[in-house]
């Protein structure tokens, strides 16, 4: 570990959001960073995004922008760590890997930002030296606010590389490191997008505003779920769901669909925040007023936010710090909308606990999943919800009520519990 060092970083795909923001984070922490993209103009757009994240032009002294054609050879020769963020297309990535394989130094670290494509397949055609230095390093968007960083490797990865990257990422870039198996979507996206996909189906039966109100910040997430998908990008959501659909064989598979309305929205190029003129679940009119999607005809209207007295009562209790009392009340209310909330929270908890040992080390219990959801999504970790809703036996009753599987890991007294303490910050009174 002592023989390795990282002083210089190259971002491949620096024109994209995650490439530019991750590169900006590296530059903020004193590393020299090459921003490479198909054109220098794309790279400079990435630089502007990185500067906005840092709120300072000072970081530009550590960043050099160029195109692949003009500077790939020079950059790779000087680089200690290559971060690949190119198009989420396995053939595009493989073609890039062929180029950098012959240019890299023997100990250059190569990582991919992708969490949906198998690491072993990505590096299959690369040299043994490449494979020894290759791993998955998955940051969360935006990295300036979300500190989680998932780390995945292959059987060919040098065993000493993992502890080195753990140390470097935590100490130099202030990341919360979570080790994950090389599985599609890793931990965070695997758990989150089952829940999010289920809510896109529920939106058909209700409407956009109602779903985001029912699962607003008071349920333990910093941003309402459909607004979150606009931030992520509806095309990215689709790609993750399609990847998971091919590999998830458990009960969550039934939720992994793209409803017809959402497919039509994506086909029209309405992808969320990245297409502000077209929108997604929300968009703004010419005067800057926020509008919501009407699912029946894909039109937009002024937002008509619903109000349910039982939710306002829950929020009022959260506002004065009575979290347990708020959720005791939520569990007792007899109302269809309360049933929807309880069922979906139980789904989130059930799927999280059912993934223990499948996406991360069984010996770690719920800890890795808790940490990704807390530090990567700003969602209440599943064990925090279990605690605040009355404990495993209460959650078991809720799951049974809604015919949701009860994972053995939830009620196994020998299963390691999370070290994330119950924190009120996850439940926002608004």
Q: In Å, how far are 163, 246, 337 from 1, measured between CA atoms? A: 8, 37, 54
Same domain, 161 and 193: no
How many other CB atoms are found less than 10 A from the CB of residue 113?
A: 20
How many H-runs (helices) and E-runs (strands) does the chain carry? Answer: 18, 11
The mean of the pLDDT values for the chain is 93
Cα–Cα–Cα angle for 224, 326, 311, rounded to 5 degrees: 50
**Residue at which a domain ends, from 179, 198, 224:** 179
Q: What is the pLDDT of residues 404-415, one digit of tens each?
A: 999 999 988 777
Same domain, 123 and 14: yes
Q: In Å, how far are 67, 384, 386 from 349, measured between CA atoms? A: 45, 10, 7
Same domain, 255 and 386: yes
Choose among 238, 214, 212, 240: nearest CA to 224. Answer: 212
**Residue at which a domain ends, from 131, 162, 179:** 179
Is residue 360, in this structure, part of any structural domain at all? yes
pLDDT attached to residue 430: 67
Same domain, 166 and 207: no
Domain count, the chain: 2
pLDDT attached to residue 424: 59
Is residue 357, in this structure, part of any structural domain at all? yes
Report the interhelical angle of 367-377 vs 188-205 (nearest 10°).
Answer: 60
Same domain, 58 and 206: no
Give the three-state DSSP class for 280. Answer: coil
Average pLDDT by stretches of 10, the chain with 430 residues = 83 95 96 97 96 92 96 95 93 96 96 91 95 97 93 96 96 96 92 96 93 95 94 91 85 91 96 94 93 95 93 95 94 96 97 94 94 94 93 96 95 75 66
Cα separation, 348 vs 75, whole angstroms: 43
Residue in the structure block whose two tokens are 């190259």: 10
Q: What is the pLDDT of residues 182-210, one digit of tens each?
A: 998 899 999 999 999 999 999 998 899 99
Q: In Å, how far are 220, 273, 371 from 384, measured between CA atoms? A: 9, 30, 11
Is residue 2, in this structure, part of any structural domain at all? no
Q: In Å, how far are 9, 24, 285 from 66, measured between CA atoms? A: 14, 15, 36
pLDDT attached to residue 25: 96
Which CATH number do you get for residue 37? 3.40.50.720
Domain range enclosing 335: 188-426
At a CB cut-off of 8 Å and minimum separation 6, what does 212 contact? 224, 225, 226, 227
Is residue 77, in this structure, part of any structural domain at all? yes
């Amino acid at each position: 570990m002592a023989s390795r060092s990282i002083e210089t970083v190259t971002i491949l795909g620096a024109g994209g959001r995650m490439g530019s923001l991750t590169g900006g984070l590296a530059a903020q922490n004193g590393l020299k960073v090459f921003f490479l993209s198909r054109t220098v103009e794309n790279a400079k757009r990435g630089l502007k995004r990185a500067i906005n994240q840092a709120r300072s032009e000072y970081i530009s002294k550590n960043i050099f922008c160029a195109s692949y054609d003009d500077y790939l050879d020079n950059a790779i020769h000087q680089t200690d760590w290559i971060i690949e963020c190119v198009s989420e297309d396995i053939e595009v990535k493989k073609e890039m890997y062929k180029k950098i394989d012959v240019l890299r130094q023997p100990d250059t670290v190569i990582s991919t930002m992708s969490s949906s494509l198998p690491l072993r397949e990505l590096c299959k055609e690369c040299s043994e030296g490449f494979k020894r230095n290759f791993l998955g390093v998955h940051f969360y968007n935006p990295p300036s606010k979300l500190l989680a960083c998932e780390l995945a490797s292959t059987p060919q990865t040098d065993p000493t590389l993992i502890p080195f990257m753990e140390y470097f990422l935590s100490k130099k870039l202030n990341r919360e490191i979570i080790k994950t198996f090389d599985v599609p979507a890793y931990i965070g996206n695997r758990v989150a997008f089952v829940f999010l996909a289920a809510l896109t189906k529920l939106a058909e039966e209700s409407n956009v505003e109602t779903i985001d109100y029912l699962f607003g910040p008071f349920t333990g997430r910093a941003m309402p779920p459909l607004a979150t998908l606009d931030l992520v990008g509806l095309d990215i959501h689709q790609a993750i769901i399609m990847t998971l659909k091919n590999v998830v064989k458990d009960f969550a598979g039934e939720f992994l669909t793209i409803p017809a309305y959402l497919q039509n929205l994506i086909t029209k190029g309405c992808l969320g925040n990245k297409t502000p003129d077209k929108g997604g679940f929300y968009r703004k009119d010419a005067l800057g007023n926020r509008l919501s999607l009407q699912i029946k005809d894909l039109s937009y209207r002024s937002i008509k936010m619903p109000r349910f007295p039982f939710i306002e009562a829950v929020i009022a209790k959260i506002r004065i710090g009575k979290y347990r009392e708020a959720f005791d009340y939520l569990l007792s209310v007899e109302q269809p909308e309360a049933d929807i909330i309880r069922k979906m929270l139980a789904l989130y908890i059930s799927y999280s606990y059912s993934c223990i040992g499948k996406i991360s080390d069984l010996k770690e219990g719920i800890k890795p999943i808790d940490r990704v959801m807390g530090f990567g999504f700003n969602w209440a970790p599943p064990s925090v919800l279990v605690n605040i809703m009355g404990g495993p036996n209460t959650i078991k009753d809720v799951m049974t009520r809604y015919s949701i599987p009860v994972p053995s890991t939830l009620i196994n007294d020998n299963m390691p519990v999370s070290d994330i303490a119950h924190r009120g910050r996850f439940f926002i009174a608004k």
